[in-house]
Amino acid sequence: MFDLHCHSYRSDGEWSPAAVVARARERGVRVLALTDHDTTDGYEEAAAAAGEALRVLPAVEISCSWSGKEIHIVGLDVDRAQPAFAGALRQQQARRWTRMQGMADKLARDGIADVMSEIRALPAVSPGRQHLARLLVARGHVRDAERAFARYVGRKGSAYVPAEWCTLDEAVGWIVAAGGLAVLAHPGRYDLSGGALLKLMTAFRDAGGVAIELSYPQLFIEEAQRLAGQARKLGLLASQGSDFHSPAQHWTDLGRTPPLPPDIAPVWSLRPHWLPAADAGLAGGSAVA
Ligand code: MN
Ligand code: MN
Ligand code: MN
């Protein structure tokens, strides 16, 4: 079983990389991509925790902008040491820290002080608004993260600072240059019309992207069918991932990925060696489900 999208506390997930891997193994995952936002720093810990029955892929989820929208690109099986790729992630992280500082300054004007020292103490190397929201809840300024976004850190909030991401072409280009496979993350979550979505997917493919996620939490059947139709039209492969962040998100769990359309090749057909040695041995014998 493949789960090619999840997060640890190196970005906005709740668990350590080792805890994510342990849960994935319990849930029967054989190939896991730890796709923290704009960092691969959790990879070594995750790989060390993996054991024989599970393979961890070095992977990432890059935030970029396209046509004024924030779009997420997953990079699978990347060479983390490739200099342009590593440098690009450092730049993305630096932008995140600058943005956090800007929002912390605005919060300080609202009487909410010492935000950055608390953010810096977290294990996250890629901080985001989710971290600020949790802090605002923990300090009792708001009742829940939703209200933290509405009042402070959301687009209309008093502490909002817009993000400055790289372009779609840059994000895909870095992944490809690092030997990875670029996957368009959760394409149904961008609030795009059919025409705009097809434009996005075309730009993504033309930049070097190979697959789109067609199985992820809260993707409902009609939307899944619309996306699958566009993937077929453009010759894109299919990927799947739980986008797991925290056990509190009861609607998803590691390895929980509804089936892909049977007529669209999965992204792992490009990298058959991903399956752990134990499975590769089995695959040589009789058919394996
Ligand atoms: Mn996230
Ligand atoms: Mn995402
Ligand atoms: Mn994600």
Question: Ligand 1 center to residue 9 CA distance, Å?
Answer: 10
SS3 273: helix
Rounded CA-CA distance 234/254 in Å is 29
Q: Which ligand is nearest to the CA of 244?
A: 3
What is the distance of C-alpha 31 from the center of its chain?
A: 16
Phi, psi of 13, rounded to the nearest 5 degrees? -75, 170
Q: Are strands 2-3 and 211-215 parallel, antiparallel or unpaired?
A: unpaired
Give pTM, 2 decimals: 0.94
What is the distance of C-alpha 36 from the center of its chain?
A: 6
Question: Ligand 2 center to residue 190 CA distance, Å?
Answer: 10
The encoded tokens of residue 107 equal 């919060």
Interval 266-284: pLDDT, tens = 999 999 999 887 776 554 4
Question: Ligand 3 center to residue 282 CA distance, Å?
Answer: 31
Task: Give the mean model confidence (pLDDT) for residues 206-211.
Answer: 98
Interval 26-38: pLDDT, tens = 999 999 999 999 9
Q: What is the model's pLDDT at position 30? A: 96
**Four-residue CA torsion sign, 255, 197, 191, 178:** positive
Is 63's pLDDT higher than 80?
yes
Q: What angle do CA 77, 80, 85 make, to 5 degrees?
A: 105
Is 286's pLDDT higher than 80?
no
Question: Ligand 3 center to residue 75 CA distance, Å?
Answer: 11
Interval 148-169: pLDDT, tens = 999 999 999 999 999 999 999 9
Average pLDDT in the chain: 94
- Contact indicator for 234, 207 with CB cutoff of 8 Å: no
Interval 179-202: pLDDT, tens = 999 999 999 999 998 899 999 999
Find tokens 């009609």 and name the residue.
Answer: 222
